[in-house]
Amino acid sequence: MSSPIDVEVRRVTPDELVPWIETMATTFLSRPDVGRIAELNGPHYDFTRTWGAFDGRVVGTLRSWATELTVPGGALLPAAAVAGVTVLPSHRRRGILRRMIAAEHEAARERGEAVAILHASEASIYGRFGYGTGVTECDLTLDTHSTGFVAAAAAGGVSLAHLDETTVELIRGLYDRYRRTRAGEIRRRDHSFVTGLGLTENGWEAPWKGWVAVHRDAAGDADGYVAYGAELKWEQGQPRSIVAVRDLVALGDAAHDALWRYMAELDLVATVKAERRSPYERLPWILTNSRAVVIDEVGDGLWVCLLDVPAALAARTYDRSGDLVFEVVDPEPGTGRTRVHLEAGPDGAACAATTRGPDLTVHADALGAAYLGGTPLRHAILARGFEEHRPGALGEADALFRTLDQPRCMTFF
pLDDT tens track for 237-246: 999 999 999 9
Q: What is the DSSP letter of 330?
A: P
- pLDDT at res. 335: 65
Distance CA 411, CA 10 (A): 28
Per-residue pLDDT reduced to its tens digit, 188-214? 999 999 999 999 988 898 899 999 999
| Helix, strand and coil in the chain, % to nearest 5 | 30, 35, 40
Q: How many residues does the chain have?
A: 413
- pLDDT at res. 156: 85
- In our burial notation (b when 16+ CB lie closer than 10 A, e otherwise), range 237-250 reads eeeebebebbbbbb
- pLDDT at res. 357: 97
Q: Kindly list the domain boundaries of the chain, sorted by start residue.
A: 4-113, 138-300, 309-401
Q: Please give the positions annotated as active site.
A: 126, 413
Distance CA 115, CA 67 (A): 10
Distance CA 292, CA 355 (A): 55
Q: What is the 3-state secondary structure (H, E, C) of 244-294?
A: EEEEEEECCHHHHHHHHHHHHCCCCEEEEEEEEECCCCCHHHHECCHHHEE
Q: Which CATH architecture has domain 138-300?
A: 3-Layer(aba) Sandwich (3.40)
- pLDDT at res. 409: 98
Could you give the count of Cα atoms lying within 13 Å of 392 in the half-sphere of its Cβ?
3
Q: Are 138-300 and 309-401 equal in CATH topology?
A: no
pTM for the predicted model, two decimal places = 0.94
- pLDDT at res. 252: 96
Per-residue pLDDT reduced to its tens digit, 68-120? 999 999 999 999 999 999 999 999 999 999 999 999 999 999 999 999 999 99
3-state secondary structure of 338: strand
The fold of the 4-113 domain, in CATH, is Aminopeptidase (3.40.630)
Residues of the chain predicted below pLDDT 50: none
Q: Which CATH class is domain 309-401?
A: alpha beta
CA angle (19 as vertex; 15, 25 as ends), nearest 5: 135
Q: Where are the alpha helices (DSSP H) in 118-189?
A: 165-179
